[in-house]
Structure 1
Amino acid sequence: MATESPAKPNKAGAFDIRLIIALLIGVYGIVLTVLGIGFTTQADLDKAAGVRINLWAGLGMLVVGLLFVLWVRLRPLLVPTDESAGESTEDSE
């Protein structure tokens, strides 16, 4: 009779959807931040009541992306391992 150790759940890792969302929000945040810093014209500022809206939206998106990454690090998704299929054939004999 073999000693059985409790199955250790695996982390979802790169397949965690929160990382994909963080990546997308982060990329858009970088693009908007760069546009807000270097490519805002006076006409754009006049349309937005003097606010560099691309800059602020980009910084906000970067913060949200970082919060998603922090969420993944602090509360990782655990994928249970399925070892019950191998045990059922041994128990039936």
Structure 2
Amino acid sequence: MSEHYSERDLQREITDLETKSATAARLFDIRRLIGGLFVVYGVIVTIAGFTASDADIDKAEGVNINLWTGLGMLALGLLFLLWLKLRPTAPPPPDAVPGERDE
């Protein structure tokens, strides 16, 4: 038994697939992964910097290296996430199918 689709049903299905494709492209954007990891690790290292003992600071020639590194990682992660927000990934055009080439 074959199902008959109207033109409207096909258009709705195509629109749904394009929306899912755009969502998947945004979800797996490498900037999200890198930015998120840098933010998480930056928070952890910054907390370690706030709780550093005097002996730890003396080992680093008087510089609270954990604090400064953590803040730098946090800033870099936030810049990646800001970049993602300002320049979102465009989904691939629907007529471009991977693996096919014009010969």
TM over 0.5: yes
Higher strand share: 1
Cα displacement (A) at 1:82? 2.0
Residue aligning to 2:73:
61
**1:17-55: CA deviation from partner (whole Å, max 9, x where unpaired):** 1100011111110110000002x1121111111111100
Confirm or deny that 1:34 pairs with 2:47: yes
Unaligned runs of 5+ in 2: 1-6, 98-103
Cα displacement (A) at 1:59? 0.5
Q: 1:24 aligned to 37, 51, 54, which one? A: 37
Distance 1:56 1:74, change over 3 A: same
Residue aligning to 2:63:
51
Amino acid at match of 2:37: L
Unaligned runs of 5+ in 1: 86-93
Q: Percent identity?
A: 47
List, as ranges, runs of 4+ consecutive aligned residues in structure 1 with deviation greater than 4 Å: none
> Number of paired residues?
80
Q: Distance in 1 between matches of 2:54 and 2:89?
A: 47
Amino acid at match of 2:38: I
Q: Does the residue aligned with 2:88 lie in a helix, a strand or coil?
A: coil
